[in-house]
Amino acid sequence: MFLESAKKEGWIEVICGSMFSGKTEELIRRLKRAKFANQSVEIFKPMIDVRYSVSEVVSHDSNAIRSTPVESPSSILLYAGDVEVVGIDEAQFFDKSIVDVCQQLASNGVRVIVAGLDMDYLGKPFGPMPDFMAVAEYVTKVHAICVKCGNLAHHSHRITKSDKLVVLGEKDAYEPICRHCFNAIAK
């Protein structure tokens, strides 16, 4: 009997939500599990994200995992090599070519796990995230708790004065709020 070698399947997983919802925490958890299973793993983040560390992906709870900061999505293809799992944090900061890069990786048999904000501070879809959610096999939306009323929050409300789309910050610049509180502030 002739047995063909099993074809390695790849896919895309998306973890999205507001700030302080646990996106990076969930990404790190999934990547650590893959490492525990002796899978080869590479983690990438945008070079502009230097809030906690230049070379690590770090959650708000200070969990960390080594990563490679990249300037552009095409660099990921150069560094990914023969890995089985690729993790990407803060995907909303990349241009839309990140989606094609991840599709190529998945088509080549790589499990791709992407984490990012699904909406910007104005409540609009953020960067490539809507495209990711459309092409991903698995989408997990995580929620924070509204700091104003205690309901589930899915908005990242900016509390600093700036009209720039990208303002890197933490609790000094953003707070998680629910739809009701977001709409009340927007009026």
Q: What is the CATH number of the domain that holds 72?
A: 3.40.50.300
Residue 172 lies inside a defined structural domain of this protein: no
Residue 156 lies inside a defined structural domain of this protein: no
Residue 92 lies inside a defined structural domain of this protein: yes
> What residue numbers bound the domain in which 21 lies?
11-142
How far is Cα of residue 63 from the mean position of the Cα atoms in its chain?
15
Residue 6 lies inside a defined structural domain of this protein: no
C-alpha to C-alpha distance for 40 and 37, rounded to whole angstroms: 9
How far is Cα of residue 164 from the mean position of the Cα atoms in its chain?
20
Residue 35 lies inside a defined structural domain of this protein: yes
- Annotated catalytic residue within 90, 137, 170, 175: 90
Output the pLDDT for position 1.
Answer: 43
Residue 180 lies inside a defined structural domain of this protein: no
How far is Cα of residue 6 from the mean position of the Cα atoms in its chain?
30
Q: Is 90 considered catalytic here?
A: yes
CA distances from 100 to 9, 17, 54, 131, 146 (A): 17, 22, 25, 10, 34
Residue 127 lies inside a defined structural domain of this protein: yes
Residue 184 lies inside a defined structural domain of this protein: no
Assign 49 a pLDDT band (cuts: 50, 70, 90): low
pTM for this prediction: 0.87
C-alpha to C-alpha distance for 72 and 26, rounded to whole angstroms: 24
9-36 pLDDT tens trace: 899 999 999 999 999 899 999 999 999 9
How far is Cα of residue 110 from the mean position of the Cα atoms in its chain?
17
C-alpha to C-alpha distance for 54 and 46, rounded to whole angstroms: 10
| Count of domains forming the chain | 1
Q: What percentage of residues in the chain have a pLDDT greater than 90?
A: 67
User: What is the token pair recorded at 19?
Assistant: 């700030």
Output the pLDDT for position 3.
Answer: 47
How many Cα atoms are found within 13 Å in the side-chain-facing hemisphere of 185? 18
The burial of 90, by beta-carbon neighbours within 10 Å (0-12 exposed, 13-18 middle, 19 or more buried), is given as buried
Cβ partners under 8 Å of residue 38, min gap 6: none
Spatial contact of 118 and 126, defined as CB atoms under 8 Å apart = yes
